[in-house]
Amino acid sequence: MLTEKDKSPGKTQTSWQRLWPWLNMGLTAVLLLVGLWYLFTKIPPAELAAAFTLSQWPYVLIGLTLTIVINLLKAWRWQFLLTTPDTSPPDLSSAFWAVTLGFFVNLVLPFLRLGEFARVYALWQQTGISKTRGLGTVVVEKTLELLMIAGTAVFVVTAIVIPDTISNSTLLLGLVGLIGLLVMYLLAFQTQRVNQWLHHFTNYLPTTIANPIHRLILNGLEGLSALRNRKLTAGLVATSLAIAILYILTPFVLFPAFGLSYGLAEAALIHIVVSIAATPPSTPGKIGVFDGTTALMLASFGLENTAVIAGYTILYRVVVMLPQIVLGAIAASRTHWQWRIHQL
């Protein structure tokens, strides 16, 4: 029988986990109020309203559509990753709601970075696919995204001159992604040998420890099985390229909304810098980080109208995050997600 002392850590942890959504909501409200106060001290409300009045909203609708399509393509890519010779991929609907839940959780709980756990949990709940297998595919997906960011940086370098710090950061990410992808590609074809090595090393461990480690690694290797099939690999590359292109088009379609004449290279640069800045855990909804980097890049292009900079930044945030919040909330309701860490 557990004593009160034994029970107390669990109760404390549960209470703390229940507080996280409220703490994040409170922090979000404070950051929004501070952000609005700072914005209106720098830009007269009338000028900001004029910038929005002159903007062309059909382009905003196109941007919202692009964000939804990106989520669909990510779900489709995840289907490729989850396909094995012995099992069929999950249906697109289950993959889509799992992906959108992951985005939503990372937005509202950025400190805990539970988004990837949330999506594999949601997929397991809807389809029964192993959580560890799902998590293994996420590693491949993130590696592909690093390569796409590096490829986008190469495109930008050939079009315009960008700061060395940005260029070096993206190229380093690309190198890490390329090495990681090569390692995973080799592991995908050497699963049997890895299994033999695993048995050799785990023989020295107690069974209660060796079995969970063995099962975790083997399930993770299942996530690399798509790399053994050329058609699936081609599908992964094609969907990743399509996602990378749409990521560039999203800020690009907002340029004409404000009468700006910037091109694809500038849009790609905004995407790169915002992606790098938003990668580490930060504020809920990336408040301050997302907006600051977007405004900084527009100013670096020579745009001096602060009202237009603020208007573009706000609409870019709406285009990128509104679909994720709305669809993510629906996904959380559909999957009955709770704000706690689920064991794999």
Give CA 24 to chain center in angstroms: 19
129 contact partners, CB below 8 Å, separation of at least 6: 82, 90, 123
d(CA 140, CA 117): 15
Q: So what's the pLDDT on residue 13?
A: 45
pLDDT band at 11 (very low <50, low <70, confident <90, very high): very low
Residue 75 has pLDDT above 90, yes or no: yes
- Helix-helix angle 45-54:4-42, to 10 degrees: 90
pLDDT tens across 263-291, in order? 888 898 899 888 888 777 666 677 778 88
Residue 148, token pair as written in the block: 């796409």
DSSP string, 256-270: GGGT----HHHHHHH
Share of residues in the chain with pLDDT > 70 (%)? 58
| Residue partners of 162: CB distance under 8 A and separation at least 6 | 153, 156, 269
Between 219 and 86, where is the model more confident?
86
Query: What b/e string do you get for 257-292 counting C-beta neighbours within 10 Å, with b at 16 or more?
Result: bbebebebbbbbbbbbbbbbbbeeeebbbbbebbbe
Please state, in angstroms and rounded to a whole number, the distance separating the CA atoms of residues 140 and 137.
5
Task: Taking the CA atoms of 156, 158, 160 and 166 in sequence, report the sign of the dihedral they define.
Answer: positive
Please name the amino acid found at residue 25: M
pTM, entire model: 0.73
Domain segments of the chain: what residues? Answer: 62-335
